Amino acid sequence: MNVLFVFYVPSGGVETLNRQRCQALRRYGIQAECLYYDWGAGMQNKIDFPIYVTRDEAEIRHILNARNYHAIIVTTDHASFEWFRRLGYDGKLVLEIQGYGSKDNAREKLTEALPVVNAHVSGLINPNTPHIASLFKELYPNIPQFHFNNCFDTEHFTYQVQPTPEHPIIAWIGRIEDNKNWREILYITDLLSYYIPDIQLWMFEDSNLAIPHEREEFIQMLDHLNLRHRLTLRSNVPNGEMPAYLSMVGDSGGFLCSTSKVEGAPLVILEAMSCRCPVLATNSDGVTTSIVHNVTGKSYEQGNLAQAVNEAIELMSYHGLRENIKNAAQLHLQTAFNSELYCRNFIDMLYSI
């Protein structure tokens, strides 16, 4: 059985998810491939399955005819369904939502998609994101809906022994845009520096996807808070190198901080958990599948800086709690996000449609 995953660019969490699930599904007889419309930094990551990067209709028509896909799973881009039909594809089409940013934007986009989705789509997928599941139920009551966690490769993306950094580190991973809420991580770092004077901030981004005016504001805020000497900014780090960085952050006594306003199912949190790097995250809807407060990580109310700082200090100071969180996070990841469970759910979805 052949399936195709479609997304705009190979970058961020969707690229990581596609790479890991294509490799996992192959063990179950599913030949999974990816189509992206434009080049992205994720193309530097190692893969051993076909990836196509094109918008050319003739080229895509040739791919569809040659590969005979039983199903095409499109992440976010509902407008492409009519396009695939026009190119001659008559198999099953599935809409997957990994996240839309704000809840208002999610409602707007899914409402806008109603005519084309009702006309062409055989199933809807989301990774147990509460607000997306609720919108599916409200807007698409007659289309089969499938809610299951994403998969994660804990065997290859895992803790590595590295030199222990001299200073505690906060890590942040995302794009320099509003929903990822880069402003909040800068404020949190600034406030924490009064309690932990040698605190450092490592930020990982895809500079290709930064919003230009947000980049300008980011630079201005760095100077305003006098944080340049604390910051190490890395762009487009190959995914295979991230376990080393996250392991060092955990061993430094620091943590990953996820400040997003709304998240679907952030893979960066799973990556940190797998590398024994504890996580402090906003309680932003989809995060609840991975972070149980004071069990598998810590959460705080987005915008409540005092609470965020208090939780961060506790996470860095109470070593027994810290170790318990790291152990519980790894166990939760291995049981709730393992590849075998994902493949069973995915294959059940394919057969049911």
> 268 to each of 62, 157, 265, 305, 328, how far by Cα in Å?
35, 11, 9, 21, 17
Contact (Cβ atoms closer than 8 angstroms) between residue 17 and residue 7: no
Residues 183 and 282 in one domain: yes
Contact (Cβ atoms closer than 8 angstroms) between residue 162 and residue 282: no
Residues 43 and 130 in one domain: yes
In a domain, 48, yes or no: yes
Residues 23 and 143 in one domain: yes
Q: DSSP secondary structure string, 120-136?
A: H-SEEEESS-HHHHHHH
To 10 degrees, what angle do helices 319-336 and 267-274 make?
A: 120
Q: Which two tokens stand for residue 223?
A: 């100077």
Place of tokens 């990816």: 34
- Give me the pLDDT at residue 286, please: 84
Q: Binning pLDDT at 50, 70 and 90, where does residue 32 land?
A: very high
What does the pLDDT look like over 152-196, one tens digit per residue? Answer: 999 999 999 999 999 999 999 999 999 999 999 999 999 999 999
- Give me the pLDDT at residue 325, please: 98
277-312 burial, b if ≥16 CB within 10 A, otherwise e? bbbbbbebbbbbbbbeeeebbbbbebeeeeebbebb
Contact (Cβ atoms closer than 8 angstroms) between residue 167 and residue 200: yes
Q: Which two tokens stand for residue 20?
A: 């890991």
DSSP class of 165? P
- Give me the pLDDT at residue 46, please: 82
In a domain, 162, yes or no: no
- The CATH number that applies at residue 189 is 3.40.50.2000
Residues 146 and 76 in one domain: yes
In whole angstroms, give the CA distance from residue 105 to residue 70: 31
In a domain, 332, yes or no: yes
In whole angstroms, give the CA distance from residue 112 to residue 139: 11
Residues 33 and 178 in one domain: no
In a domain, 156, yes or no: no
Helices (H), the chain: 12-26, 57-67, 80-86, 103-112, 114-120, 130-139, 182-192, 212-224, 242-251, 267-274, 305-317, 319-336, 339-352
In whole angstroms, give the CA distance from residue 153 to residue 319: 27
Q: What is the total residue count of the chain?
A: 353
What does the pLDDT look like over 52-111, one tens digit per residue? Answer: 999 999 999 999 999 999 999 999 999 999 999 999 999 999 999 998 888 999 999 999
Residues 58 and 118 in one domain: yes
Residues 267 and 302 in one domain: yes
Residues 180 and 328 in one domain: yes
Q: Which two tokens stand for residue 161?
A: 């022994």
In a domain, 163, yes or no: no
Strand partners for 257 = 280
- Give me the pLDDT at residue 304, please: 97
Residues 271 and 207 in one domain: yes
In a domain, 290, yes or no: yes
Contact (Cβ atoms closer than 8 angstroms) between residue 97 and residue 126: yes
In a domain, 144, yes or no: yes
Measured over the CA atoms of residue 160, residue 163, residue 167 and residue 171, the dihedral's sign is: negative
Q: Binning pLDDT at 50, 70 and 90, where does residue 207 land?
A: confident
Q: Which domain holds residue 285?
A: 169-336
> 269 to each of 14, 144, 247, 264, 302, how far by Cα in Å?
14, 29, 13, 12, 16
Q: Are strands 255-258 and 169-173 parallel, antiparallel or unpaired?
A: parallel
In a domain, 277, yes or no: yes
Residues 112 and 183 in one domain: no
What is the total count of domains within the chain? 2
Is the predicted pLDDT of residue 35 greater than 90, yes or no? Answer: yes
Q: What is the largest CA-CA distance in the chain?
A: 62
- Give me the pLDDT at residue 206, please: 86
Strand partners for 31 = 2
Residues 306 and 342 in one domain: no
Residues 222 and 263 in one domain: yes
